[in-house]
Structure 1
Amino acid sequence: PGAWGELGWPALALYASGIFWTLGYDTIYAIQDLEDDALAGVKSTARRLGAATPRAVAGFYGLTVAFAALAGWLAGMNWAFYALLGLYAVRLFQQAWKVRMDQPILALKLFKSNAWAGLILFAAIVAGSFHAPP
């Protein structure tokens, strides 16, 4: 039914998860450009949040995981989804723990590590979709 114009609650929850994930990794990315953004007058999330950036990234990632878990629950995912979602959460919170406003090279490394985080989330969705036969 979803392919024919319906957008169910699991998809909306996953979409919300993606929004908060994007806020988190984009804020990390913006740390690299703090000086240039200040000169150009760009108001990035990292500039706006200042010293609170690491806590904000952790908050964004907390909401990311919460909405992904909600999507899994609404979609009836199996245990494998939640196991891999736990790994995904660890990956994201490691980024939030490590991020430093004065380390732009580290920020780029953390930003790039989101490719692996995305792969873990994809694996969680695929693995969580398999159900035991009746």
Structure 2
Amino acid sequence: MNIGNCFENGQIGTISEIIKSKDKTFNPHPKFKGVCLKNLVTGDMTNNKISCVLVRVEPFCTLDTHIHENSLEIHEVISGDATCYIGENKINYTVGTVGVIPENVSHKVEAGKNGIYILAKFTPAL
């Protein structure tokens, strides 16, 4: 079972509604080929306290070096494999790995042969 697919087709429950994840669109990353983003929880749902994005990186593609100036980012690897660089630290991303990326720290993710799904959480929300 691909847990990434489960999140693609799951649901988001809030105080006032249940949203089907499949009704939310995967959007190609504007800069990085083979990277798609699905906004599961947006800032308008949380008073801008947190957001959650399902990130899909196709096999052997790269979510290249970037920073988030005003948000702490947490990666939860839910499917696949990759190498992540957080600052100067190299981390093997496998299912169950959690990455902690402080604001203003450069990071990138290089997907392996299976590609990767990451739940990326940002606080404050992007």
In the superposition, the TM-score normalised over structure 2's length comes to: 0.25
Higher relative contact order (CA 8 A, sep 6+): 1
In terms of fraction of residues, the more helix-rich structure is 1
In terms of fraction of residues, the more strand-rich structure is 2
In the superposition, the TM-score normalised over structure 1's length comes to: 0.24
- Whichever of the two has the greater Rg, that structure is 1
